């Protein structure tokens, strides 16, 4: 960003779906998925992609390096704690980008200073040294005082000035715990601009979490006060209540340009596709009433507002579905649809498939179409989200039969293929799902605790598919599993198995007793 851009109306979009978003418990994405999402972010015009936290794991390092090599127009950024080793590792990963950035941070509030047990002076010195080190490696350096909104104002002025003098080109002001409110968020940026020497030479960024549901409002207030970079994630993915949602700030600036005269470089018609892809790969479905990207965000079209809409769309619409890339047709396919039509429809929905993948999806599509007359877009998305027995899965469902109804006990007979060998059992339970889960627990001993079990009907009608999401925890590792089927018990069983397969992979990668690196171990 040039100084000219900064003083005018251009707001830089910094997307951290692959870093802060991926920190969301259970939202872990595979290497291929991260590359795909980065490609979509680049393509939609995201200015800066925070691709990961290279010191955290070999996997994160490789993903950031690969994303850096493939990026077209986006700046590629990596996160690093205020330690030389972290910063060096980050640089090794981002240096392949046409435009690399190092983002280094340290917690500056009293609570965060207490963790490394640094005095204010010692922390100030650490900031000076680490930002200088980063700047010696890369001429684009971002620095963040984590928990800035709960840091003493005088100390914040002091450390921001030090970071600027040491060469930071962007200063990010994180509301790490989602504590601030719009007026305060604006005031803080205004005060920093007014009181910190050199503040007019750099770009201020705003990074808001959504614990009180004010993240987007806080980010926009910061922009009105002079911040020119918004940090956000697709679908607002992120720790706890998540982050500012990219789609919300982009559309708010577009629709209310009359009162917020700022522009972004985002192609808003790409929003829906990327939102769906992130929901799929992260395993975090978008809530139905979520602004912009929720299933119901434009639902008035077919509801009670239809009459007004037909006379004048603006009666109930502040933006058009097409503005965010939502196509109007919903019934898409049936059992006579062919492979080419399926590929093309899936591409419209943001899924790029190789030939083998398409072959597999087509078989499942046909099986679904045999059971369900009309296949809707949402059915296809659920189908893509459904775990199938992948070649490399150690546990595969071979067969399942349940006995249920008013005359208990409910019973499940299950055959699983575990590491190549078939194993069967029959168990009872409190309902058919419980009986099926008891079968899995009998066949595969594990200590993982089921934290969440959620069922949604994908479309209407008694032949609707059910999507099931489960979240499980074992020794601090959280994994999610999803599946969809017109048979809710089958979907539930597959979702459980999906999560267990992921858990086995995580165990192999990290070793049962190896704690995973957290950005909170920071200082």
Closer to Zn ion at the Cβ: 20 or 66? 20
Residue 145 binds to ligand KIV (criterion: CB under 6 A): no
Closer to Zn ion at the Cβ: 100 or 238? 238
Residue 15 binds to Zn ion (criterion: CB under 5 A): no
Sole window of 15-23, 371-379, 391-399, 446-454 interacting with Zn ion (rule: CB under 5 A): 15-23
367 contact partners, CB below 8 Å, separation of at least 6: none
Residue 377 to residue 332: CA distance in whole angstroms: 6
Strand partners, 469: 454, 482
Site for ligand KIV in 168-187 (CB under 6 A): 172, 174, 176
Closest by Cα among 140, 106, 142, 102 to 126: 106
- Minimum CB distance to ligand KIV, residue 172 (Å): 6
Tokens (6 digits) for 313: 């769309």
Among 15, 20, 248, 377, binds ligand KIV (CB under 6 A): 20
Closer to ligand KIV at the Cβ: 207 or 471? 207
Among 144, 216, 268, 438, binds ligand KIV (CB under 6 A): 144
Residue 54 binds to ligand KIV (criterion: CB under 6 A): no
- Minimum CB distance to Zn ion, residue 244 (Å): 10
- Minimum CB distance to Zn ion, residue 230 (Å): 13
Cβ-closest position to Zn ion: 20
Residue 63 to residue 37: CA distance in whole angstroms: 11
Residue 78 binds to ligand KIV (criterion: CB under 6 A): no
Query: Which of Zn ion, ligand KIV, none sits in contact with 410, Cβ below 5 to 8 A by type?
Result: none
Sole window of 20-28, 302-310, 317-325, 379-387 interacting with Zn ion (rule: CB under 5 A): 20-28
Query: Which of Zn ion, ligand KIV, none sits in contact with 523, Cβ below 5 to 8 A by type?
Result: none
Strands (E), 262-394: 331-333, 375-376
> What distances in angstroms separate CA 290 from CA 16, 65, 285, 494, one per listed residue?
19, 33, 11, 27
Residue pair 256/224 in contact (Cβ under 8 Å)? The answer is no
Query: Which of ligand KIV, Zn ion, none sits in contact with 61, Cβ below 5 to 8 A by type?
Result: none
Backbone angles phi, psi at 7, to 5 degrees: -80, -10
Closer to ligand KIV at the Cβ: 169 or 268? 169
Q: Angle at the Cα of 211 (from 194 to 454), degrees rounded to 5? A: 155
Residue 36 to residue 480: CA distance in whole angstroms: 20
Tokens (6 digits) for 501: 């397969």
Contacts with ligand KIV by CB under 6 A: the residue count is 10
Query: Which of Zn ion, ligand KIV, none sits in contact with 376, Cβ below 5 to 8 A by type?
Result: none
Per-residue b/e over 260-291, b at no fewer than 16 CB within 10 Å? Answer: bebebebebebbbbbbbbbbbbbbbbbeeebe
Closer to ligand KIV at the Cβ: 365 or 519? 519
Sole window of 16-24, 220-228, 326-334, 464-472 interacting with Zn ion (rule: CB under 5 A): 16-24
Residue 125 to residue 34: CA distance in whole angstroms: 35
- Minimum CB distance to ligand KIV, residue 219 (Å): 12
Residue 147 binds to Zn ion (criterion: CB under 5 A): no
In this structure, the number of other CB atoms found within 10 A of the CB of residue 64 comes to 33
Binding mask 98-127 for ligand KIV (x = CB under 6 A): -------x----------------------
Among 20, 247, 248, 411, binds Zn ion (CB under 5 A): 20
- Minimum CB distance to Zn ion, residue 189 (Å): 17
Residue 17 binds to ligand KIV (criterion: CB under 6 A): no
Strand partners, 457: 466
Contacts with Zn ion by CB under 5 A: the residue count is 1
Q: Is the peptide bond before 280 cis (omega within 30 degrees of 0)?
A: no
Residue 357 to residue 4: CA distance in whole angstroms: 47
Residue 207 binds to ligand KIV (criterion: CB under 6 A): yes
- Minimum CB distance to ligand KIV, residue 101 (Å): 13
In this structure, the number of other CB atoms found within 10 A of the CB of residue 464 comes to 19
Strands (E), 219-300: 229-232
Query: Which of ligand KIV, Zn ion, none sits in contact with 365, Cβ below 5 to 8 A by type?
Result: none
- If phi > 0 it is left, if psi is from -120 to 50 it is alpha, else beta; for residue 520 that is alpha
Residues that bind Zn ion (CB under 5 A): 20
- Residues interacting with ligand KIV, by CB under 6 A? 20, 105, 144, 146, 172, 174, 176, 207, 209, 519
């Amino acid at each position: 960003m040039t100084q000219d851009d900064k003083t005018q109306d251009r707001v830089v979009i910094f997307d951290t779906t692959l870093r802060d978003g991926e920190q969301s418990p259970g939202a872990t994405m595979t290497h291929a998925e991260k590359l795909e999402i980065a490609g979509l972010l680049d393509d939609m015009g995201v200015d800066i992609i925070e691709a990961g936290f290279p010191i955290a794991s070999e996997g994160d390092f490789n993903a950031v390096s690969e994303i850096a090599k493939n990026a077209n127009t986006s700046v590629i950024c990596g996160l690093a704690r205020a330690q030389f080793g972290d910063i060096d590792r980050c640089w090794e990963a981002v240096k392949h980008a046409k435009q690399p950035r190092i983002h280094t941070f340290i917690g500056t509030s009293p609570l965060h200073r207490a963790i490394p047990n640094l005095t204010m002076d010692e922390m100030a010195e650490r900031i000076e040294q680490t930002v200088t080190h980063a700047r010696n490696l890369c001429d684009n350096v971002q620095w963040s005082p984590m928990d800035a909104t709960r840091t003493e104002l005088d100390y914040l002025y002091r450390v921001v000035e030090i970071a600027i003098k040491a060469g930071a080109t962007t200063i990010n002001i994180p509301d790490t715990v989602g504590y601030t409110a719009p007026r305060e968020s604006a005031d803080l940026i205004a005060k920093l601009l007014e009181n910190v020497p050199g503040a007019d030479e750099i770009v201020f960024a705003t990074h808001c979490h959504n614990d009180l549901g004010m993240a987007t409002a806080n980010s926009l207030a910061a922009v009105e006060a002079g911040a020119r970079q918004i940090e956000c994630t697709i679908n607002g993915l992120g720790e706890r209540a998540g982050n500012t949602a990219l789609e919300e700030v982009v559309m708010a600036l577009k629709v209310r340009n009359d009162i917020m005269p700022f522009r972004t470089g985002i192609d808003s018609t790409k929003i829906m596709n990327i939102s769906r892809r992130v929901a799929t790969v992260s395993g975090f479905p978008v809530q139905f009433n979520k602004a912009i990207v929720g299933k119901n965000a434009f639902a008035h079209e077919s509801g009670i507002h239809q009459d007004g809409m037909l006379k004048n769309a603006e009666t109930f619409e502040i933006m058009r579905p097409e503005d965010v890339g939502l196509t109007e047709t919903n019934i898409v396919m049936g059992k006579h649809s062919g492979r080419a039509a399926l590929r093309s429809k899936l591409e419209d929905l943001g899924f790029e498939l190789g030939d083998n993948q398409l072959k597999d999806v087509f078989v499942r599509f046909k099986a679904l179409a045999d059971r369900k007359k009309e296949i809707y877009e949402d059915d296809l998305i659920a189908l893509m989200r459904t775990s199938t027995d992948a070649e490399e899965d150690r546990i595969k469902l071979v067969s399942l039969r349940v006995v249920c109804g008013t005359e208990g006990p409910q019973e499940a007979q299950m055959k699983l293929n575990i590491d190549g060998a078939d194993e069967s059992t029959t168990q009872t339970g409190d309902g058919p799902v419980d009986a099926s889960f008891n079968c899995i627990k009998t066949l595969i001993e594990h200590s993982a605790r089921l934290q969440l079990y959620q069922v949604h009907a994908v479309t209407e009608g008694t032949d609707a598919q059910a999507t099931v999401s489960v979240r499980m925890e074992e020794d601090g590792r959280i994994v999610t599993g999803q599946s969809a089927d017109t048979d809710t018990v089958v979907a539930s069983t597959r979702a459980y198995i999906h999560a267990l397969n992921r858990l086995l992979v995580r165990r192999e990668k990290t070793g049962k007793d190896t704690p995973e690196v957290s950005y909170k171990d920071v200082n």
